[in-house]
Chains A and B, each alone.
Chain A
Amino acid sequence: MLPAAIFVGVFIYYPMLAGSQMAFRHWNLSNLTDTSWIGLQNFATIFADPSFGVILGNSVLWVVASIVPQLVIGFALALWLRRRFRFRGLYQALIFFPWAISGFLIGILFRWMFNGEFGVVNDLLMKTGLIDQGIPWLAQPDTAMFAVIIANIWYGVTFFAIMILAALQSVPDELFEAAALDGAGKVRTLFQITIPYISTTLALTVLLRVIWIFNFPDIIWAMTGGGPANQTHIITTWMITFTQKGDYGVASALGLIVVGLLLVFSAFYLMALRGKKEASS
């Protein structure tokens, strides 16, 4: 336990705490000769920004619209992959591959695939006759948001699939057999036996993914840079624009807001989870 605490303390908490003081200072790279304490002024700047509401909404949409399909598809894959079939190993290696690429690379790759004029997505859609004119995916706020979420779903399913598959391995077959003997249907077995049995892993995976996705600017940054007109920014991509402007004060303040929001969410989530557990036992 001690080594873990030391590692995390020295290389994560120390730099993080040292870094977060920037949030309460005037800390702009354009002039670091004046880094006076300015209290909550950086936070005030953020809340006063007209884009803040949209960006907050986008962040929530980004998380929810990404995680639900990821969970459902990942769960389905895991369940179906339990069954042996020929080339299962190869199949798994192939479908797990998105996780092997960095988010940034995925972003660039999808940016080109969703390109309005020479992107392969439009080309395929036109070849199959689904559309007859190319859609400028990344040039319109709605379609751009759709495109980045698609990319994220594609990327994140693997994580759920692996985690759930690993957890499912610990479910004793006897449980299923017993359920089958009781005449329970597939769906009932799933909800009454499988899910409760792996609930700890499942709940934690979902929580971690919420935190990660909320904190995952790579794909959006590479695909749209938050555009058009700030319409696809989430908090963390917006934060990058502040670092690029050299305004580390505001950027750090945004970072703390991210931590704050996620803390509140996690607290509620864990409480709800505990409440549910107590109710069911």
Chain B
Amino acid sequence: MANSKVLSGLGIGLAATLALSGCSGAADDGTVTLQMVESLTNPARTELLETLIDEFEQENAGIEVELISPPTDQADQKIQQMLQSGTGVDVLEVRDLTVGPFSTNGWLADMGPEFEGWKGWDALTDNAKNVATAGGKTYFIPYGFYGISLFYRTDLVEEAGFDGAPASWEDLLEQASAIQDPEANTYGYAFRGGTNGYSNAALVIEAYVADDLDLENAYRLKNGDSMFSAPEALDAMDLYLDLFEQASPPSSVAWGYPEMVEGFSNGSTAFLLQDPEVIAAVEQSTAITGEQWTTAPILVGPSGTAIQPLATAGWGVAEASEHQAESAKLIQFLSEGDASIRFTEGNSLVPILNGGDEAEFYKTGAWESYLTMNENPETYITAVQPRGVAWWTEWADKADSELQQVLIGQLTTKELLASWDAYWTEKWAAE
């Protein structure tokens, strides 16, 4: 009978499956296996990381590392679940966004003791050391920094009759407006209205209030008020709204990272503010050639200065890990010498090692603007963004949504700034 055949087939299939999916046992020869989880996963980076891990394993017999690479969209949630359960993770990627909550919850080990006497420490840049010792504890060692620069189309700028890249936000508005030509599917600025759009809004405001800014907390003025309360902030947002209305693609209200990069590398927009990671993506473009674009330093405000918002991430150890010493060893390996240099170059990151940016790699082509910014710290001021606060993700969500309200005309720039000012003032007061 046909059905009994089907049934027995199913039975065999089931049995085979159960047999196939048996557990893998743990080795019992004293080998320590570290579970390492990454968060900002991308295939090329994972490959590089695996190479580095192989080298580490060769140098350290008796330690094996198992790299877990969840899709980046789901990674932080998975890491949280692992940390909460106290199993399955020894080394993890900690971001400036997650270090606050993770350490508050007691999920991260203070590596201070393990790192005492580590010879690699002195080689770290001041920025890296600051991050690694924030709050007196060492919850993670940064592997690099994400800085911002202005990607621009040299040919379009020239055709529109300008000598070179815009230096200030006002220049940008002028040039982008001149280039904007919707009929030809050419637009000025790759505006970020979608996810994390608030970060670029903060960038323009910071440039306008740079001189009064508290460098330890870039959202605060020296007088203790939030930067959104400054009168210059309104000028900044008005200009930013003009930039959207006069010089950006209309659909950029909804543009996030992929659309922005895409809009620039397919040749339809002339300006893009982005991380150096994007250099590699744009280099692959066939729509624009290497002669048609380069990068420039970020844009300054009326007083001629700008704030470089360095974002960072690095490696930390789980408090629940039973192999903290071995974990620290792995992190040290990744944070010094050749391994660190290869990781920062391979991922287009601003290096964590002193003199790292003197390598040939950072002096060529699109990287030049980073050098310029590094050499002029008075103009391009590095300030700490308050990304570690517990309410940062809540803020990001609120700010994105309200920025979009401004873009679609439901809110004025003035109302927006009042709301943002009230939000931060209240949060700081409750702290």
* A and B interact physically: yes
Q: Please give the residue numbers on chain A whose beta carbons come within 8 Å of chain B beta carbons, in ascending order.
A: 28-33, 115-118, 133-134, 136-141, 144, 224-225, 227-230, 241, 243-247
Instruction: Annotate B204-239 by CB proximity to A: 1 below 8 A, 0 otherwise.
Output: 000000000000000000000000000000000000
- Cβ-defined contact, B401 with A229, below 8 A: yes
Contact with A along B191-206 (1 / 0, CB 8 A): 0011100000000000
Residue pair A29, B80 in contact (C-beta under 8 Å): yes
Residues of A within 8 A of B84 (CB): 32
Q: A117-B249, A246-B393 are in contact. Are A29 and B254 (CB under 8 A)?
A: no
B262 in contact (CB, < 8 A): yes
Contact call A115/B251, Cβ cutoff below 8 A: yes
Residues on B with beta carbons closer than 8 Å to the beta carbon of A32? 84, 104-105
Main secondary structure of the interface of B (DSSP, over half): helix
17 A-B Cβ contacts within 8 A? A29-B101, A31-B104, A31-B105, A31-B390, A32-B84, A32-B105, A33-B106, A118-B185, A133-B182, A137-B251, A138-B251, A141-B408, A225-B194, A227-B254, A229-B402, A229-B410, A246-B394
CB pair A117–B263 under 8 Å, yes or no, is yes
Complex Cα gap A12–B401 (Å): 34
Closest 9 CB pairs of A and B: A116-B251, A136-B251, A30-B390, A139-B253, A229-B404, A136-B250, A138-B254, A229-B405, A228-B404
B397-A241 in contact (CB<8A): yes
Once A117-B251, A117-B263, A243-B77 are accepted as A-B contacts, the answer to whether A140 and B408 lie under 8 Å apart by CB is: yes
Output the nearest chain A residue to B183 by Cβ-Cβ distance: A133
Complexed CA–CA distance, A133 and B104 (Å): 52
Using CB atoms, name the residue of chain B closest to A224.
B254
Mask for B397-425, Cβ within 8 A of A = 1, else 0?
10011101101101000000000000000
Take A29-B105, A31-B104, A139-B252 as given contacts and tell me if A118 and B266 are in contact as well, using a CB distance cutoff of 8 Å.
Answer: yes
Known pairs A32-B105, A229-B408; list 11 more (Cβ under 8 Å): A30-B104, A31-B101, A118-B266, A118-B268, A136-B250, A136-B251, A139-B254, A227-B404, A228-B254, A229-B402, A246-B393
* CB nearest to B406 among chain A residues: A229
Give min CB distance, A104 to chain B, whole Å. Answer: 9
0/1 string, B67-86, CB within 8 A of A gives 1? 00000000001001000100
B252 / chain A contacts, CB cutoff of 8 Å? 139
The range of chain B's interface size is: 35 or more
When distances are taken between beta carbons in the complex, the residues of chain B under 8 Å from A137 are 251
Minimal Cβ-Cβ distance residue in A for B268: A117
Whether B391 pairs with A30 at a CB distance below 8 angstroms is yes
Smallest CB gap from B393: residue in A? A245
In the complex, A225 Cα to B257 Cα: how many Å? Answer: 13
Asked whether, in the complex, the Cβ of B101 is within 8 Å of the Cβ of A246, the reply is: yes
B367 within 8 A of A: no
| B104:A227 contact, CB within 8 angstroms | no
Residue with the highest number of chain B CB atoms closer than 10 Å, among A224, A230, A246 = A246
Return the chain B residue nearest A228 by Cβ.
B404
Interface presence of B187 (CB below 8 A): yes
B100 contacts partner chain A, Cβ-Cβ < 8 Å: yes
- The answer for the CA separation of A244 and B76 in the assembled complex, in Å, is 9
Given known pairs A33-B106, A246-B393, the reply for A136 and B249 (CB within 8 Å) is yes
Cα-based distance from A139 to B408 in the complex (angstroms)? 8
Answer whether A116 and B400 are a contact pair too, CB < 8 Å, given A32-B105, A138-B254: no
> Is B275 on the interface with A (CB-CB < 8 A)?
no
Q: Is B259 an interface residue (CB 8 A)?
A: yes
Contact of B407 among A117, A224, A228, A244 (CB under 8 A): A228
Q: Contacts A115-B259, A227-B400; is A247 near B254 (CB within 8 Å)? A: no
CB closest chain-A residue, reference B254: A138
Q: What's the Cα separation between A33 and B182 when bound, in Å?
A: 53
Interface centre among A29, A32, A118, A133 (most CB of B within 10 A): A29
Contacts of B100 in A (CB 8 A): 30
Contacts of B193 on A, CB cut-off 8 Å?
A: 139, 228
Whole-angstrom distance between the alpha carbons of A118 and B195 in the complex?
Answer: 19
Residues from chain A with a CB closer than 8 A to the CB of B259 are 115
- From the candidates A28, A225, A230, A243, name the one contacting B195 in the complex (CB within 8 A): A225
A138 to B194, CA, bound (A): 10
Contact of B254 with A117 in the complex, beta carbons under 8 Å: no
Cα A96 to Cα B217 with chains together (Å)? 55
Q: How far is the CA of A139 from the CA of B404 in the complex (A)?
A: 9
Question: What is the bound-complex CA distance between A241 and B393, given in angstroms?
Answer: 9
Task: Map CB proximity to A onto B284-304 as digits: 1 under 8 Å, 0 otherwise.
Answer: 000000000000000000000
CA distance A259 to B121 in the complex (A): 53
* Residue from the list A133, A136, A243, A245 in contact with B253, Cβ < 8 A: A136
Residues of B within 8 A of A229 (CB): 401-402, 404-405, 407-408, 410
Q: What residue in chain A is nearest B389 (Cβ atoms)? A: A30
Q: Contact check, A244 vs B393: say whether CB atoms are below 8 A apart.
A: yes
Q: How far is the CB of A241 from chain B (nearest CB, A)?
A: 5
Among residues of B, the one whose C-beta sits closest to the C-beta of A140 is B408
Judge whether B250 and A33 touch: CB under 8 Å.
Answer: no
Find the B residue at minimum CB distance from A114. B251
The reply to whether A139 and B397 form a contact with Cβ atoms under 8 Å apart is: no
Residues from chain A with Cβ under 8 Å of B251 in the complex? 115-117, 134, 136-139
B249 touches A116 (CB 8 A): yes
Contact with A along B243-279 (1 / 0, CB 8 A): 0000001111110100100110010100000000000
The answer on a CB contact under 8 Å between B187 and A117 is yes
Interface string of B81-97 (1 = CB under 8 A from A): 00010000000000000
The CA-CA distance from A247 to B391 in the complex, in Å, is: 10
Give the residues from 95 to 114 in chain B that come closer than 8 angstroms, CB to CB, to chain A: 100-101, 104-106
Query: Are the C-beta atoms of B101 and A30 separated by less than 8 Å?
Result: yes
Q: Which of B251, B252, B397 has the most chain A CB atoms closer than 10 A to its own CB?
A: B251
A55 to B376 Cα, complex, angstroms:
48
A153, B61: Cα distance in complex, Å: 57
Do the beta carbons of B401 and A116 come within 8 Å of each other? Answer: no
Question: In the complex, what distance in Å separates the CA atom of A107 from the CA atom of B272?
Answer: 25
The answer for the CA separation of A227 and B259 in the assembled complex, in Å, is: 15
